[in-house]
């Protein structure tokens, strides 16, 4: 690695998209943000067919404006190209959302946002067609109402005319790869989030596709992370005046983030912290049994044939929505200010389970947090700091609950927790996590998703030998911070209360 090599990570998240340039030289990776743009959903008049709005109680659709995103992506590529010759480009995004193309390769509808209402009621409909347990036994994927299988099923149920003309189904990072190269494939880690893959074969499940009534011909070839998809298409090469190849990293952003965990052994839990908190461990095979089914755990694809045995936890989305609510009320805070207010608020007074169902959907999140405390007979937080502390302490306690279940089901005990991603900037949450778990927490890198994306590109192009060398590069390149647990007694007592509240909510709802 004597000569500097440039790679570009196109990292699209629920709040923003970035073009992150990576310069690899002498065993270190230097990264720089070349372009940033807002993502977020757009609210548009209904795009549902027939009487669907009446059935789901909404005449508003929640969509992603990928035409605008594409313009921003090209801007990001051009800005990065001015810094040096790009060797490769890699794309990662969130999971579960998809696009549909017609037989000429044209986009026939803007992709829906995973929080759109059209999937309401689709879990029950799916289980009528194929049993809940059967679906889990095939896929090993946790049940969330926003999963691709339920989104796509809504199109079948509501007889969407798009299904008459669709020729290709692409997950959203695969759509960008197609626009970049002209090659339509499905990257494995992203495809596993659909809940339509057979975990044993790594292929689309014929049984699920048939039972749901999905047209089988639309699902593309599945390729593993690290696949060189191809050079950018000729027309784009001329438009942008550059040459580069496109590599599929772990295209699911959690898969990319987990790729950047700087662990020195296999004795660890990882938490990808951001809008969502994904809590998990790496396993050589999917863990599919009665307990993983009953605890609604998941087995998503990872690097080198591994699986991410994990669970989605509603993460900093709740704080993001509270921040937006206060802004509407004329009180504009930065995340740093909100964290500072939380730090000054009373400890372990109230705590909210981040996976309370009402937290999943947009709305007045401040009132939802207060409502949770009311129905669980806890003191209701009043100030902004108290609300945020209620969320952060509840998040740390939920991490403990999930980790206990992961270890119980897998039989694998761990002693260290690695937190990666943008959420690591919240040092208060990192310390709460160490306190709640009674374990050492290692936080960083912050830019884990982009870093994992870039490292996989470099391995695919032969500039890094293998993943072991990639981890060494990460350790040499980024600051890592360690948090040690404090007094365990108050947190152990709080955890007992948290579990009581958890059981109370489950019985009530």
Local structure of 208: helix, strand or coil: helix
Q: What torsion, rounded to 10 degrees, do the Cα atoms 227, 233, 239, 243 define?
A: 50
Handedness of CA 288, 278, 453, 115 (dihedral sign): positive
Provide the token pair at 72. Answer: 């921003």
d(CA 429, CA 177): 35
Provide the token pair at 336. Answer: 């740093």
d(CA 37, CA 107): 22
Is 479 known to be catalytic?
no
Provide the token pair at 402. Answer: 């999930």
d(CA 437, CA 268): 13
Task: Report which DSSP code applies to 264.
Answer: S
DSSP state letters, 409-440: HH-----EEEEESGGGG-HHHHHHHHHHHTSE
Q: How many CB atoms lie within 10 A of CB 117?
A: 21
Q: How many CB atoms lie within 10 A of CB 82?
A: 9
Q: Residue 1: in which H helix or E strand, if any?
A: none
Handedness of CA 275, 280, 285, 289 (dihedral sign): negative
Q: How many CB atoms lie within 10 A of CB 305?
A: 12
Phi and psi torsions of 251, nearest 5°? -75, -20
Burial code (b: 16+ CB inside 10 Å, e: under 16) for 280-292 equals bbbbeebbbeeeb
Local structure of 12: helix, strand or coil: strand
Question: How do strand 203-204 and strand 197-198 relate by DSSP bridges?
Answer: antiparallel
Taking a C-beta distance cutoff of 8 angstroms, is the pair 505, 375 a contact? yes
SS3 content of the chain, % helix, strand, coil (to 5): 45, 20, 35
Q: From its phi and psi, is residue 130 left (phi > 0), alpha (psi between -120 and 50) or beta?
A: beta
Name the residue among 177, 183, 124, 117 with its Cα closest to residue 151: 117
Task: Kindly give the interhelix angle for 172-181 and 66-81, rounded to the nearest 10 degrees.
Answer: 60
Radius of gyration (C-alpha) of the chain in whole angstroms: 22
- Among the listed residues 92, 174, 253, 463, the single catalytic one is 253
Residues in the chain: 509
Residues with active-site annotation: 253
């Amino acid at each position: 690695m004597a000569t500097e090599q440039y790679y570009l990570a196109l990292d699209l998240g629920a709040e923003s998209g970035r073009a992150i340039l990576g310069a690899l030289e002498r065993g270190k990776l230097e990264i720089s943000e070349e372009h940033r743009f807002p993502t977020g959903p757009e609210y548009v008049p209904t795009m549902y067919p027939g009487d669907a709005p009446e059935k789901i109680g909404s005449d508003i659709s929640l969509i992603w404006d990928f035409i605008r995103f594409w313009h921003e992506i090209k801007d990001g590529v051009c800005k990065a190209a001015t810094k040096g010759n790009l060797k490769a480009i890699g794309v990662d995004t969130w999971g579960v959302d998809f696009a549909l193309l017609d037989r000429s390769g044209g986009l026939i509808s803007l992709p829906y946002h995973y929080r759109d209402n059209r999937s309401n009621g689709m879990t029950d409909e799916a289980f009528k067609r194929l049993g809940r347990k059967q679906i889990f036994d095939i896929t090993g994927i946790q049940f969330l109402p926003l999963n691709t299988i339920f989104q796509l099923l809504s199109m079948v149920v509501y007889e969407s005319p798009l299904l008459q003309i669709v020729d290709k189904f692409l997950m959203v990072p695969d759509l960008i790869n197609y626009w970049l190269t002209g090659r339509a494939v499905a990257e494995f880690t992203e495809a596993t989030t659909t809940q339509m893959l057979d975990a044993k074969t790594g292929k689309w499940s014929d049984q699920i596709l048939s039972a749901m009534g999905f047209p089988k011909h639309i699902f593309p070839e599945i390729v593993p992370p690290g696949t060189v998809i191809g050079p950018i298409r000729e027309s784009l090469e001329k438009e942008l005046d550059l040459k580069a190849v496109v590599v599929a990293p772990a295209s699911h952003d959690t898969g990319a983030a987990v790729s950047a965990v700087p662990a020195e052994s296999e004795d660890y839990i990882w938490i990808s912290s951001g809008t969502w908190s994904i809590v998990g461990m790496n396993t050589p095979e999917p863990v599919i049994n009665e307990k993983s089914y009953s605890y609604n755990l998941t087995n998503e694809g990872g690097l080198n044939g591994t699986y991410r045995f994990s669970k989605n936890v509603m993460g900093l989305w709740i704080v993001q929505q509270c921040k937006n609510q206060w802004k509407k009320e004329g009180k504009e805070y930065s995340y740093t200010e909100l964290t500072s207010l939380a730090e000054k608020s009373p400890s372990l007074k109230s705590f909210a389970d981040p996976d309370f169902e009402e937290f999943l959907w947009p709305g007045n999140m401040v009132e939802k947090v207060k409502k949770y405390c009311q129905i669980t007979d806890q003191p209701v937080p009043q100030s902004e700091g108290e609300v945020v502390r209620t969320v952060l302490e509840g998040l740390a306690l939920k991490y403990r609950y999930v980790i206990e279940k992961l270890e119980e089901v897998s039989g694998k005990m761990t002693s260290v927790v690695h937190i990666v991603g943008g959420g690591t900037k919240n040092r208060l949450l990192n310390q709460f996590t160490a306190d709640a778990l009674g374990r050492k927490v290692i936080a960083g890198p912050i830019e884990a998703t982009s870093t994992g994306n870039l490292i996989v590109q470099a391995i695919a192009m032969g500039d890094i030998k293998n993943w072991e060398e990639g981890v060494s590069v990460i350790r040499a390149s980024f600051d890592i911070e360690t948090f040690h647990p404090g007094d365990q007694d108050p947190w152990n007592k709080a955890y007992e209360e948290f579990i009581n509240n958890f059981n109370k909510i489950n019985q009530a709802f």
